[in-house]
């Protein structure tokens, strides 16, 4: 009996808040914990009913014993009134025998009563804890929902920050590419040989001073008188 009481006493002492703090998924763990507590309550209820039945049975034995004691006491008195002292002695001896047995029964009943009280207290405490936890379940689920929404917002904020960083980096690379292109064009321009204006004009006028084949042929004909 002591081991049963100690085991259920440990159940009652379980700290619900400490358990919730360790949960990875409070909503699922709350439901699981409630199921476990309901199973424990059913077991405690069966044990409590057994202990209470034992108390009732022991109390019945005590009452029966006391009734027997009273009966033999009455018989002893009747025997004395009738002048049968030996019979009275016999009844008194039986009465004393029953009283000795009754003392043990009273002790057993006291223990059974104490056990029944303790078991009932633990049963009621566990039932009360379950009721309180059920009323808190919706509140906990609401907090979990808000927390998950906040986590989503945090992730979105981080994603936006990351995209802004990427855009800034892209802009820096674009500026760098533009500078590289401008530098390359400038170098190409510097590598190009400057145009000599005089040479350009010389080519122009030299071309004009050269007679065509037909002109030179006509000139020869004139000189030859042809």
| pLDDT tens string 33-64 | 788 888 888 888 888 898 899 999 999 999 99
**For residue 218, what are the domain limits?**
171-224
**pTM tops 0.95:** no
- Residues 160, 58 share a domain: yes
Residue 193 per-residue DSSP state: P
- Residues 34, 111 share a domain: yes
- Residues 208, 112 share a domain: no
- Residues 140, 84 share a domain: yes
The tokens describing 131, both together, are 């009721």
Out of 165, 181, 213, a domain closes at 165
Give the burial string for 152-164 (b: 16+ CB within 10 Å, else e). Answer: eeeeeeeeeeeee
- Residues 180, 220 share a domain: yes
Number of independent structural domains in the chain: 2
**Residues 123-178: tens digit of each pLDDT:** 888 888 888 877 777 777 777 677 667 767 777 666 666 666 667 777 787 777 77
What is the CA angle 29-30-33, rounded to 5? 80
- Residues 114, 187 share a domain: no
């Amino acid at each position: 009996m002591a081991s049963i009481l100690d085991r259920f006493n440990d159940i009652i002492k379980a700290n619900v808040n400490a358990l919730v703090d360790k949960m990875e998924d409070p909503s699922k763990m709350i439901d699981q914990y409630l199921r476990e507590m309901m199973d424990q309550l059913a077991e405690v209820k069966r044990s409590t009913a057994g202990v209470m039945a034992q108390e009732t049975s022991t109390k019945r034995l005590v009452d029966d014993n006391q009734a027997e004691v009273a009966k033999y006491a009455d018989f002893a008195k009747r025997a004395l009134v009738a002048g049968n002292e030996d019979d009275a002695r016999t009844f008194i001896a039986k009465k004393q025998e029953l009283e000795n047995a009754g003392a043990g029964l009273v002790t057993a009943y006291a223990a059974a009563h104490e056990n029944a009280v303790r078991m009932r207290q633990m049963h009621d405490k566990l039932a009360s804890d379950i009721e309180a936890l059920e009323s808190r379940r919706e509140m906990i689920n609401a907090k979990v929902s808000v927390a998950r929404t906040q986590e989503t917002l945090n992730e979105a904020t981080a994603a936006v920050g990351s995209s802004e960083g990427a855009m800034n980096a892209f802009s820096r690379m674009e500026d760098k590419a533009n500078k590289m292109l401008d530098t390359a064009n400038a170098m190409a321009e510097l590598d190009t040989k400057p145009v000599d204006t005089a040479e350009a004009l010389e080519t122009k006028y030299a071309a004009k001073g050269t007679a065509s084949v037909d002109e030179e042929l006509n000139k020869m004909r004139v000189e030859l008188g042809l």
